[in-house]
Amino acid sequence: MLTTITVNGEARSLDLDPRTTLLDALREHLLLTGTKKGCDHGQCGACTVLVNGVRINACLSLAVAHDGDEVTTIEGLGTPEHLHPMQQAFLTHDAYQCGYCTPGQICSAVGMLREVEAGLPSHATRDVRADAVLDGEEIRERMSGNICRCSAYPQIVAAIAAVAEAES
């Protein structure tokens, strides 16, 4: 199936088997290997990308379902010369160890802050009628779909909190 997806600001036309996941389209067809294949079952979050600004697990989504959508991968968030604030915070707070989960963690954190800005509650939000208080518990709950095998969670939470504070 012919599918056109805007990836990192560039419209890309792909002729894909309709069973191709968004993750495989990104990695195998567009050679954007920053997005990682971890569990391939939607359980680890290593494949998290932003679709129309919303975070999703790319391994669980068919590429043809995103015809006309805008996809942002880790490669589209910033450049080595001009890092996205979340990328810089991960460096500053040493929020990675092996780095395998880092692209998914960063994309998820960017999407999560957009959810907070939009007023979407989480399971940890104490008062769903009020603005979420982005404390450690709230960040951990909202990021619970992203696993770090190296257990860099305290640094990840600190990095996200720093960006949230800078943006408020």
- Give pLDDT tens digits for 117-143: 998 888 887 777 777 778 999 999 999
168 has pLDDT over 90 = no
**Given 77, 107, 138, which residue is the final one in a domain?**
77
64 has pLDDT over 90 = yes
Q: Which residues contact 92 (CB under 8 A, 6 or more apart)?
A: 159, 162
Domains in the chain: how many in total? 2
Same domain, 105 and 131: yes
Same domain, 104 and 123: yes
pLDDT digits (tens, 9 = 90+) for 15-55: 999 999 999 999 999 999 999 999 999 999 999 999 999 99
**Which of helix, strand or coil describes residue 72?**
strand
8 Å CB contact between 30 and 90: no
109 has pLDDT over 80 = yes
Q: Given this model, what pLDDT does residue 11 score?
A: 98
CA distances from 40 to 23, 54, 57, 61 (A): 9, 19, 9, 11
Same domain, 94 and 40: no
Which sign does the torsion angle of CA 25, 29, 30, 31 carry? positive
Task: Determine the Cα–Cα distance for residues 144 and 79; give it in Å rounded to an integer.
Answer: 27
Q: Model confidence at 77, in pLDDT bands (50, 70, 90)?
A: very high
Rounded to an integer, the average pLDDT of 142-147 is 96
By residue range, what is the domain housing residue 27? 2-77
Same domain, 90 and 163: yes
Q: Return the CATH number at 155.
A: 1.10.150.120
8 Å CB contact between 24 and 87: no
CA angle, 99 then 105 then 109, to 5°: 145
pTM greater than 0.85? yes
